[in-house]
Amino acid sequence: SYLIAALILQLMWSLRLAYKDIFALRNKKDLHTRDNLLFIVIVDWVSRSLCIFYCP
């Protein structure tokens, strides 16, 4: 059950990043702000850590 939750979290995070990229490209927004990159790096690190340590 934890494995399924970690994989669902990873999938949702990946879809959110894809949506944000598409939105930025269509509206010519800059994603390279300091706060945005810090948030992406921290959440991506946590989600990858959960998947690596608890997924087979």
Q: What is the pLDDT of residue 47?
A: 77
**pLDDT band at residue 9 under the 50/70/90 scheme:** confident
Q: What is the pLDDT of residue 56?
A: 60
Instruction: Please report which helix (H) or strand (E) contains residue 34, including its range.
Output: helix 34-54
Q: What is the pLDDT of residue 43?
A: 86
Q: What is the pLDDT of residue 25?
A: 92
Q: Residue 37 and residue 25: Cα distance in Å, rounded?
A: 16
**pLDDT band at residue 32 under the 50/70/90 scheme:** confident
In this predicted structure, the answer to whether residue 48 has a pLDDT above a threshold of 90 is no
Q: Residue 22 and residue 24: Cα distance in Å, rounded?
A: 5
Q: What is the pLDDT of residue 8?
A: 86
Q: CA 1, 16, 31, 41: dihedral to nearest 10 degrees? A: 0
CB 21 within 8 A of CB 31: yes
Q: Residue 35 and residue 20: Cα distance in Å, rounded?
A: 15
